[in-house]
Amino acid sequence: MTQPNLETVKDYLLDLQDRLCDSLARADGKATFREDSWQREAGGGGRSRVIENGALFEKGGVNFSHVHGSQLPPSATAARPELAGRGFHAVGVSWVLHPENPHVPTSHGNVRFFIAEAEGDAPVWWFGGGFDLTPFYPRWQDARHWHQVASDLCTPFGDDVYARYKDWCDDYFMLKHRNETRGVGGLFFDDLNEWGFERCHAFQRAVGDAFLDAYLPIVERRRHDAWGERERQFQLYRRGRYVEFNLVWDRGTLFGLQSGGRTESILMSMPPLARWEYDYRPEPGSAEAALDDFLRPRDWLGETPPSQETA
């Protein structure tokens, strides 16, 4: 098994951050990313890049971080208690995009790498990451394209990889307190080390490199769709679900806060505006009501969509 190389991963992630920001700024056409570099008192730091009030993105961010310390935080050892007390390096890029147009889905992704070390023992390392899509209006064409890109990037790594990480994504992005999914899923993987370092890193690169191919065609297809106050209010209501998941269930948020990361960067994922409404019920037969059935785990590549939902 090839020995893990932290610097190789870090070089890739810094380049990925640059490429994502360049492409997303071009897609927006108006706003650009501003950068804040920061240092973590206990070790490490990062560079946060945020775009706001653009022609496309109401808010978005693409963050790089490399933090290290003498002891892994509880969120990182919950599933692997044998690693408690080890020193660690955690390096990753995470991104989230909140378009203004309610017909353009919100999207999130991240790719990360951990090494846990203890004197006298071999390092324990693993990769994680993925990407997911959160539409506010049901569009089969968009969800199918999203999952086709995800499936295609997984194919060189094994026939079962897409299905396995697609199911994991559906399970992970579940708001358990509401028994509903956050969006239409995508890919989610963690604790990946079984293929050896080089192949695992190649998979991380495949996920990071495929995001723009998955997302930008959807953006271009929907960005000029007409919307008004009704659609805007529904978008803000559904953004509330996004906030609930990130604050209650997301392990990345917990890791960042527990490890003493930069709070402004960790909470960059939050939308600029959201709302909550008591016991909201959409109008029966409306596009808003159709979202409830649309947002459930399904075979996006094999299932035949209802004829009225092919657009």
Inter-residue contact 206 to 11 (CB < 8 Å): no
The three-point CA angle 250-153-176 to 5° equals 25
What's the length of the chain? 311
147 a known binding residue? yes
Q: Where are the alpha helices (DSSP H) in the chain?
A: 6-28, 74-77, 140-154, 161-172, 197-222, 229-248, 251-258, 263-266, 287-294
108 a known binding residue? yes
Residue with tokens 């199911």: 167
Residues 85 and 74: their CA atoms lie apart, in Å, by 10
Residues 243 and 177: their CA atoms lie apart, in Å, by 13
262 a known binding residue? yes
112 a known binding residue? yes
259 a known binding residue? no
Bridge partner residues of 192 (DSSP): 127
Residues 284 and 199: their CA atoms lie apart, in Å, by 49
DSSP string spanning 18-37? HHHHHHHHHHHSS---EEEE
Residues annotated as catalytic (active site), given as ranges: 108
224 a known binding residue? no
103 a known binding residue? no
223 a known binding residue? no
68 a known binding residue? no
| Annotated binding-site residue numbers for substrate | 94, 110-112, 260-262
| Annotated binding-site residue numbers for a divalent metal cation | 98, 108, 147, 177
| Annotated binding-site residue numbers | 94, 98, 108, 110-112, 147, 177, 260-262
